[in-house]
Amino acid sequence: MLCALIMAGGKGERFWPLSIDEKPKQFLRLLGDKTMIQMTVERLKKRIPIEKNFVITGKQYVDILEKQLPELPEGNVIVEPVGRNTAPCVGLSAFIINKRYKDAYMVVLPSDHLVVNEDKFLDTVNAAYEFAKSKNNAVVTLGMKPSRAETDYGYIKFGKEEVKIGEFNIKKVERFVEKPDRDRAKKYLKDGSFLWNGGMFIWRCSTVIDLIKRHLSNTYHILSEIAVASANEFEDMLEENYYKVDNISVDYGIMEKAENIYVIPSDLDGII
């Protein structure tokens, strides 16, 4: 079973002054009559039923989120009391989704991507899901084929090992690379084995939990105690303890340390 986790807690600072703290990029109508997060959910609903779409956001955005996504079940909005970067937010969500849907897989993705070729995107997600199921505990990420020497994105370096799923070539990841300077970005572009890191991952929820246990033991200890709290105690436990988790990204906290990672080089005709 595949669920979606949409990360919608960011402030969209690169889009200032259009994007501000009170109403960041994901809640803006930048193209057409739908906001970015509405477009994200509409896209995913073609493949993943609405009851299996989850959104994690900050408590300051809950009201605007509920207004923009009234069809999203109430229990599918996960609220962070405080932002602690992407590793804890993904970990908390993995615990919650796995409790709701045992042995579920999830695709983790930002709420503010523009995807021109939606059918191709969904086919890519499906291929990643099928591969993750076939290769126990694998982590699959989507890497964007670079069209320029971009310095605002991190990069993914892939190796020669390759598995084919339908029309997609899935490659073993050698390493994740932080945002480069201009000269290094030009070298990555010329090399041909580097992809933009789009921050999209497909994995089994239990795999995420295990990776956090292995590499972020403090975060695991705190999240696991929150996760087993009763329905009446959950909100209080979350509010009282979530700020203690490690303030660290998925890339730093997990992806740079995990071993069983694969990437699908994706040309999605306009994802930003």
- Would you give per-residue pLDDT tens digits along the chain (272 residues)? 999 999 997 554 444 344 345 567 777 876 778 898 999 999 999 999 999 999 999 989 999 999 999 999 989 999 999 999 999 999 999 999 999 999 999 999 998 777 878 888 999 999 999 999 988 789 999 999 898 999 988 999 999 898 988 889 999 999 998 899 999 999 999 999 999 998 899 999 999 999 999 999 999 999 999 999 998 999 999 999 999 999 999 999 998 888 899 999 987 544 44
Bridge partners of 110, per DSSP, are 7
Q: For position 202, what pLDDT does the model report?
A: 96
Give the C-alpha separation, 123 to 99, whole Å: 27
Q: Which two tokens stand for residue 228?
A: 């087993």
Q: Taking the CA of residue 110 as centre, how many other CA atoms within 13 Å lie in the half-sphere pointing to its CB?
A: 20
Q: For position 84, what pLDDT does the model report?
A: 92
Give the C-alpha separation, 242 to 81, whole Å: 7
Q: For position 184, what pLDDT does the model report?
A: 94
Strands 155-165 and 77-80: unpaired
User: Against a cut of 0.85, is the pTM above it?
Assistant: yes
CA distances from 114 to 41, 158, 270 (A): 12, 25, 7
Q: Yes or no: say if 114 and 272 are a contact pair by the CB < 8 Å rule.
A: yes
Give the C-alpha separation, 125 to 144, whole Å: 13
Give the C-alpha separation, 256 to 47, whole Å: 30
Q: For position 30, what pLDDT does the model report?
A: 65
Q: Yes or no: say if 228 and 209 are a contact pair by the CB < 8 Å rule.
A: no
Q: For position 18, what pLDDT does the model report?
A: 41
Give the C-alpha separation, 113 to 72, whole Å: 19
Q: Yes or no: say if 27 and 37 are a contact pair by the CB < 8 Å rule.
A: yes
Beta strands of the chain (E only): which ranges?
Answer: 2-7, 53-58, 77-80, 105-110, 139-144, 155-165, 168-177, 194-204, 261-266
Q: Which two tokens stand for residue 235?
A: 């909100």
The conformation of residue 251, written as its DSSP 8-state character, comes to I
Q: What is the CA radius of gyration of the chain?
A: 18
Q: For position 28, what pLDDT does the model report?
A: 82
Q: For position 10, what pLDDT does the model report?
A: 58
